Every structure is written in structure tokens, then in C-alpha cells.
Amino acid sequence: MSTPKKYMQIFNVMYKHYGPQHWWPGETPFEIMLGAVLTQNTSWTNVEKAIQHLKINEALDPKVIMDTHHKRLASWLRPVGYFNVKATRLKSYCQWYLASGQFEQLDRLDTPELRRALLSVKGVGPETADDILLYAFSRPVFVIDAYTRRLFSRLGYINGEETYESLRATFEKKLQRQADQVQLFNEYHGLIVWHAKYFCKKRPICTGCCLRRQCHGANPV
């Protein structure tokens, strides 16, 4: 059974090897929120292109997005794919965000209440909600994504079939005694993303992997 110490060991190995990630990129909390919605089923490179289109058109604002015609907004979002769907989701999110009093009012909610509110928005699932909670609102929630499942399944810490909520609870419990959980969860998730993109791919590149010694996939028992 994996212990809290082992979870921190994985973090420490990656942090020493890669350094701080400064993730999630975004100049404002609202920009981070938009990125979290847009990154579903696409690469971050494509999200950056779409956000740049919004900036060029001075549309990085919830009211401007609401007032923009659907087809025009979708054209700005074309790089992320499913641009019509994502235009609808952005408008739904912005409608909720404005009605909820925007960042200042939402930030007054406790974390469970804010999470429930985010999950009530059409198109916002658990991973997107937790991205927003951690990176935009600086709340201590651990984001679970496909990279996390892949890496920790290969390490032998999980079987990969757990529900989102059970995995999130596992990570938060294992790391609950660590100081500054927001910063830790931020860096940990960023490191997982980096490592999985360049080494722990669907077809892993084990040569040069900093976690090779800990990995059951690379070193079957």
C-alpha cells in the first residue's frame, strides 16, 4: 500500500528533476477559468491560440463574451476544436459568473459550496471545477486528470479504475499533513502534466525517466 511518504517522494523526485512549473498560465483569475473550460479535449497550445484571439478582440471579459454573437465567438475559438460547443459553454459559464457576482462574491464562498456552484454550470465537470478552484481561487483541491491516472497506475499506487472523487480524496488525504497545500497541489499537478507529456506517454519513454526506479511499469516485479 502506498503511504503519504511515497506520494511526497514522487513529488520530490519530479521537482528536483524539472524544477517549479508555475502552472496554470494566466494573467487573471478569469483568464485561468476560461482556459480551464477551453482545455477540455484539446492541447494547451490550442487553448493559448484561442485565448490570444480573445485578447486581440478585447473579449477577455465575461460581459463582452456574453454580448458577442455566437458565430463570432466560435470563430475565435476555432483552434480548440468543438468550437461551437465551447462557445456555448463559455457563454453559459459567463452568464453564471456574472449572475453570481464574479470573483469577489464567489471567493467569499467556502470551498465545498463553491465547488457545488461550479458543478452546477453546464459543461463544467469535476476536473474543470477543480482546475478553477485550485488555480483561480487558490483552494486546496487536488486535480485528477488522465495524466494522473496513467502515471500513478504505472507506479502501482492505484489501479486506474477508481472514480474521480475517490482519487481526489486519496491524494488530498495522503498529502493533508503538508504545509501550504495550495502551492503543493499546484506544483504537483503541473509536474505530473509535464512528466506525462514528455515521458509517461500512452507509449511511455522510459529511457531518461526520473521515476524509472519507482515505476512498476518500467521495472515489473
Sign of CA dihedral 165, 166, 167, 173: positive
Predicted confidence at residue 145, as pLDDT, reads 95
CA distance 143 to 23: 12
Please determine, looking at this structure, whether the domain spanning 29-136 carries the CATH number 1.10.340.30. Answer: yes
Task: Tell me the CA distances in angstroms from 189 to 28, 136, 141, 171, one per residue in order.
Answer: 19, 14, 11, 11
Digitized pLDDT (tens) for each residue of the chain, 221 residues in all: 578 899 999 999 999 999 999 889 899 999 999 999 999 999 999 999 999 999 999 999 999 999 999 999 999 999 999 999 999 999 999 999 999 999 999 999 999 999 999 999 999 999 999 999 999 999 999 999 999 999 999 999 999 889 999 999 999 999 998 989 999 999 999 999 999 999 999 999 999 999 999 998 765 44
Predicted confidence at residue 221, as pLDDT, reads 44
Q: Where are the alpha helices (DSSP H) in the chain?
A: 4-18, 29-38, 44-56, 62-67, 70-76, 83-99, 102-106, 111-119, 126-131, 146-154, 164-174, 181-198
State phi, psi for 218 to the nearest 5 degrees: -85, -25
State phi, psi for 132 to the nearest 5 degrees: -65, -40
CA distance 184 to 134: 11
State phi, psi for 36 to the nearest 5 degrees: -65, -35
CA distance 221 to 213: 12
Task: Tell me the CA distances in angstroms from 76 to 42, 58, 82, 105, one per residue in order.
Answer: 15, 11, 12, 29
